[in-house]
Amino acid sequence: MGRLLAYLQEATTSLWRNRVRSFLTMLGMIIGTASIVTVFGISRATTSGIASTFGSFGTLPVIVQADPAQDYPSIAQIHYHDVRPVAQALAGITPWVMPDWNRSFLTTYGNVKDYPSVVAGSGFHDDGLAMQQGRKLTQQDVASAAHVCVITADLENEYFHGGNAIGKYLRINGGRYRIVGVYANIKGSFLNGLVGSSTVAIPYTTFYQNVDPSPPDFILIYAPKGEEQLAGKIAIATLQRIHGPNAKYITQNSSDLLQTFENVLNVVGLGLAAIGGVALVVAGVGIMNIMLVSVAERTREIGIRKAVGADRNDIALQFLMESVVLAFLGGGVGILLGVLVTIGGVALLSNTLGEMIVPYVLVVGLAVGFSVLVGVLFGTYPALRAAQLDPIEALRS
């Protein structure tokens, strides 16, 4: 340990003696390491933010719809009365099966008019969505086809200018619906715009009987985790028994779509981090070049050391230590810059994507490992070249 500390001190002294050259050599390490930390950190944070926000929606449904690519789509048209036999077939897996429509209707309160998205709701709630006021729809609301609705916070601001909306009535497509709840904003304006903004939810029975009696677009199945594929197969088999074997249907597992989205983000993050890795390789070549110059400049010093008893391992370790210190110092500065940029980037993106978690230990650990690896790999050849110098030829130089 004492020998290593002595070599470390000597390496630091040597680098300080040529500090301008050392700093210019470290620039590549600084840029490459900062790029890796920033890109990898922000990409992982983005993935965690989107995943946690979608996780607040609870169980994501299996979506069953008629295959639009079939020759005669009309024979596979899903009808409202198809939901009950599908639910009965899935009773052993899940009781939560419902029709779904994607519609917008004229919705008014007083003189305020808009066309928000009106969705069919049920009494099934295992999500973590917070209520700003009131309550969510209940199974009793669905069973009685109650004229009630739940709105999002932006609609409360639009129609009631921030006032209390509970107990007031909206007119949706001509019918009156009492507001029983107001959803709080989802953390992250991106997801508010994507899934949670300007939405009115009413019981699906009420939707069909009073708002739009047209056939539903989808059937939603809230199956337990691991049972999604089986639930989709049973639903398709039931629908084909009703509409005939020539009717074709497709299913989409929302959980799989989310997982695919996360995988894409991870691949993109790794790809961008690999680009930063190219900068590290370039920096490593710069370190090798400078260390070869250093060996050439200190040939006589190497000869003197060998003449007084230093062996090849001592010489190699001395120059390898300088290479590692050079890479480690550049990597350390790059990590610091990368962490600062990551903190700033996460602070900005959290307003759009919600709460984000950065695995700083993993990111910094990878960056430190790459820095040391670059120092060792690209410093080995100059160190071996110095160790193999003939002492007599070195003293003559």
Q: What is the pLDDT of residue 279?
A: 76
DSSP letters spanning 344-379: HHHHHHHHHH------HHHHHHHHHHHHHHHHHHHH
| Residue 248, domain extent | 62-254
Judgement on whether residues 230 and 81 belong to the same structural domain of the protein: yes
Hunting for tokens 């596979």 — which residue is that?
76
Domains identified in the chain, total number: 2
Q: Do β-strands 148-152 and 175-183 pair in parallel, antiparallel, or remain unpaired?
A: parallel
Judgement on whether residues 21 and 137 belong to the same structural domain of the protein: no
Bridge partners, 203 (sequence order) = 121
Tell me 127's DSSP state. S
Judgement on whether residues 243 and 369 belong to the same structural domain of the protein: no
Q: Which of 209, 236, 254 marks a domain boundary? A: 254
Q: Which of 230, 254, 278 marks a domain boundary? A: 254
Distance CA 33, CA 327 (A): 10
Q: What's the pTM?
A: 0.64
Bridge partners, 202 (sequence order) = 120
The torsion region of residue 161 among left (phi > 0), alpha (psi -120 to 50) and beta comes to: left
Judgement on whether residues 21 and 85 belong to the same structural domain of the protein: no
Q: What is the pLDDT of residue 18?
A: 75
Bridge partners, 134 (sequence order) = 181
Q: Which of 254, 287, 314 marks a domain boundary? A: 254
Judgement on whether residues 216 and 248 belong to the same structural domain of the protein: yes
Judgement on whether residues 31 and 118 belong to the same structural domain of the protein: no
Q: Report residues of the chain scoring pLDDT below 70.
A: 1-4, 6-8, 11, 51-58, 126-128, 186-197, 255, 257-258, 261, 273, 351-354, 391-392, 394-397
Calculate ∠ Cα 390-393-395, nearest 5°: 105
Judgement on whether residues 230 and 265 belong to the same structural domain of the protein: no
Judgement on whether residues 236 and 370 belong to the same structural domain of the protein: no
Contact 333, 22 (CB under 8 A): no
Q: Which residues neighbour 137 within 8 Å (Cβ) at sequence distance 6 or greater?
A: 121, 122, 123, 125, 148, 150, 180, 181, 201, 202, 203
